[in-house]
Structure 1
Amino acid sequence: MKKTIILGIVLSVFFNLKTFAQENRPITTATPFLLIAADARAAGLADQGVATSADAFNQQWNPAKSVFLRQSQNVGVNYTPYLSSLVNDIFLGNINYSYRINERSAMSASFRYFSLGDIEFRQNADDPGLSQKPNEFTFDLSYSLKLSETFSMAVAGRYLRSDLRLQTEDAADATAAGSFGVDIAGFYQSDEIAYDSFNGRWRAGFNISNIGPKIKYDDAGQENFIPTNFKVGAAFDFIFDEYNKITPSIEFNKLLVPTPQDFDGDGDIDAEDAQEYQDISSFGAIFSSWGDAPDGFSEELKEITWSLGAEYMYRDVFAFRAGYFNESEEKGARKFVSMGAGFKYSSIGIDISYLFSTSSVRSPLENTLRFGLTFNFGDEYYD
């Protein structure tokens, strides 16, 4: 009998490690690795990046920030171990490149790769086993443009490839699933403002990411929403002098994916309900997801995650960061405190971060030290 093995558990393990009652209705998607913070600076700020100052890792959080980069060329490389307390070969790797074309425009590219390590598949106890390396990756390009001296917008295109199907003798035709996504982002950064005892600068940003068609792993199988996502945030620089700066920030996030529900009202989410759920278009879900929760507005609010962060910078050389992330117990229960630090010498920057889970659901990234490197060179701009 023909068998096709799909690592369905991997699609939900990232954010749903707890068995929820049906009425909790957590939202799951394909390629959830797209929502993992892929750089150490954002991870140290509790997964914030939509309204923080521009850096080499803008592409995931807000590509519109790239036109505010200080230098014309910026490279970022980051490595994140995953489930490091259990295995040592699952990781998320990320490389970014941004080029500021002139004072008004910039282009960026990034490659994100998620490896699930070596998995040994056996049909039975006597099977010698088949070792495979399922993985997922994305490649994207963006263009950002200043519409004024303080506001920019960007559009990004992304190719997604999810190779989670294990090749077996009974499934010789197993192939990877693919899709594409589009991001639309905006970023505001004010001029430096003089207050009574300090100077300040406002920032705000938004990003609607991964707008695109569903992923299908099998011709006869179900379609899976990709993690279309809305993020909005704000930050403020307290510039006390030329040496000291503190930046508190806040962000809100919502998946633009339908809430699983009992469409026929029989008290159970069955196959018919699942089929009706699949019939919702990925584009239509962007709008319907704001009001489709069965328990109404109160449940919609539970689907919004929020985070607080703060970054202290000394002489633009040393940075210390901290943040707190919160998600409803009924929608995934991700709650954690993060800490991070950064050091910059000449054109090279080093960032690290660490996460402490505060939820009853242990985070796969708990006790994980993330590392990032940045290289900034080329012409300088002063916005």
Structure 2
Amino acid sequence: MIRKATLSLVLLYSTFTSFETSAQRIDSVGQLDGRTNTVNTAVPFLRITPDARSGAMGDVGLAIAPDASSIYWNLSKLPFATTKSSMAVTYTPWLKELVNDVFLATVSGYTQVDENQAISGSLRYFSLGSINLRDVTNQDLGDFHPREFAIDAGYARKLSDHFGVGFTARYIYSNLAGGQSVDNIAIRPGKAFAADISAFYTKEIEKDDGLVNKFNLGVAITNIGTRISYTSSAQSKDFIPTNLGLGTAYTLSLDEYNQLTFALDINKLLVPTPSRDSAGNPTNDYKNKSVLEGIFSSFGDAPGGAKEELQELMYSVGMEYWYNQQFAVRAGYFNENKNKGNRKYFTAGIGIKYDIFGLNFSYLVPSGSGIQRNPLSNTLRFTLTFDLGGRDEESRTGF
């Protein structure tokens, strides 16, 4: 499908800089005036939830039961998985209400080397379909197929019966308009390397009736890596979406067949907040920071002070109900401050498992008034899972 030229111009612009919404202004005492000051990064596809299970639970994933998509959320969960090996394939339509050829496809999986170690890998491929490129004089430059992908490999290990750690390495490739040029500046594919570090704590709580509840905690810093550029200019390098996530989950075993999990994730991007001068006008000073400087300064660089820093927190809450580990019902809610993107939405979905096969579905519905329109609005996405190893039938941890 060929889009209009205006979309092509937007795409070309995005290769040079992250989008900033309406400029936030700061008054004489440094307070917010209510306008947005969104924290933006390059390769935002890395923050798209790649599996339908978490997608149905408000995008939680840091502390829920491990599965084949854990490499995205928290790799350190995998040594505690009750299935020795598993694989997942997910298809996520993107902007389905506008176009039909933009999508995110994900393949991920893991295997436990022994009772203390696990290795995992994944591929995320984001296709932006086919775009007709035109220059400022409306001359046809031909069709182009922008695309991005990330390849991951990770290792996780138990340090005790209750605690584990994980490390993931990642290669990122982003080709949005390679081979084109703007103002005689050649555009090239962007490339970057990144890593995740994560930790996971789990504790079983045995009840008087012999059933077991479970309490989990998870933390992960993801996409710690090099800045990315689409030109040869050092000034055009952008930050990738380095993120700090903290999560918790509690699983209630209601009886032999029924299980209920509640989960909460809190996330914050560890990249600089767009800076402003004394008059409140945007500057590019924040782009001169190194990766490490950007990570550490992100906790206190917001022009609006502590109030604005707190606005940069994103909250996800989710629920998952299982019947006999064969049928699941899920729901959740995601909230982002109105000055930082204003994404607010409810999610819901189901999961079905038969023998080694599983199928998960999720659906997203935007909420609130004056909300940010979501690319996944009213979109059904699905994940197909395959359990390739043995399974502990005594455990009720999901898939």
Does the pair score TM above 0.5? Answer: yes
User: Within 1, Cα distance between the matches of 2:50 and 2:197?
Assistant: 19
Deviations 1:56-98 (A, max 9, x none): 1001100111112222221110000000000000000100020
Unaligned runs of 5+ in 2: 1-8, 26-35
1:92 alignment partner in structure 2? 104
2:332 to 311, 319, 323: 323
* Amino acid paired to 1:296: G
1:363 to 360, 371, 374: 374
Aligned pair partner of 2:24 in 22, 36, 39? 22
Give the TM-score, by structure 1 length.
Answer: 0.91
The CA RMSD measured in Å over matched residues stands at: 2.2
The alignment partner of 2:55 has SS state of: helix
- 2:144 is matched with which residue? 132
* Counterpart residue type for residue 22 of structure 2: F
SS of the equivalent of 1:215 reads: coil
SS in 2 for 1:379: coil
Q: Paired residue for 2:45?
A: 33
Please tell me whether residue 225 in structure 1 is matched to residue 270 in structure 2. no
Structure 2 residue 118 is the aligned partner of structure 1 residue 106? yes
Structure 1 residue aligned with 2:32: none
Among candidates 249, 255, 259, match of residue 241 of structure 1: 255
Structure 2 residue matching 1:71: 3-state secondary structure: coil
CA distance in structure 2 between the aligned counterparts of 1:156 and 1:169, rounded to whole angstroms: 35
CA offset digits 1:191-215 (Å, max 9, x no partner): 2421579641101101100001110
- CA–CA separation in structure 1 for the residues paired with 2:379 and 2:10: 30
Q: 2:303 aligns with which of 278, 294, 297?
A: 294
Residues 211-263 of structure 1: per-residue CA shift (max 9 Å, x gap): 0111011112511000000011101011011100000111100000111121x
Aligned mates of 2:301, 2:134 — CA distance in 1: 42
Match of 2:157 among 140, 145, 161: 145
Distance 1:110 1:136 in 2: 14
Q: What percent identity do the matched residue pairs reach?
A: 40
CA contact (8 A) 1:94 1:110 kept: yes
Residue 387 (structure 2) pairs with residue 376 (structure 1): yes
TM superposition shift of 1:362: 1.1
| Runs (4+) off by over 6 Å | 169-172
TM-score by length of 2: 0.88
User: Aligned partner of 1:303: which letter?
Assistant: E
Amino acid at match of 2:215: W
Task: Return the alpha-carbon distance in structure 2 between the equivalents of residues 102 and 288 of structure 1.
Answer: 40
Q: How many residue pairs align between the two structures?
A: 371
Could you tell me which runs of 5 or more consecutive residues in structure 1 were left unpaired when the two chains were aligned.
Answer: none
**CA contact 1:212–1:283 (8 Å) conserved in 2:** no
How far apart are the structure 2 equivalents of 1:312 and 1:44?
12
Give the Å deviation of 1:328: 0.3
Which residue, 30, 38, 44 being the options, matches 2:56? 44
Q: Deviations over 1:115-161 (max 9, x none)?
A: 10000112377845511100110001000000001111000000011
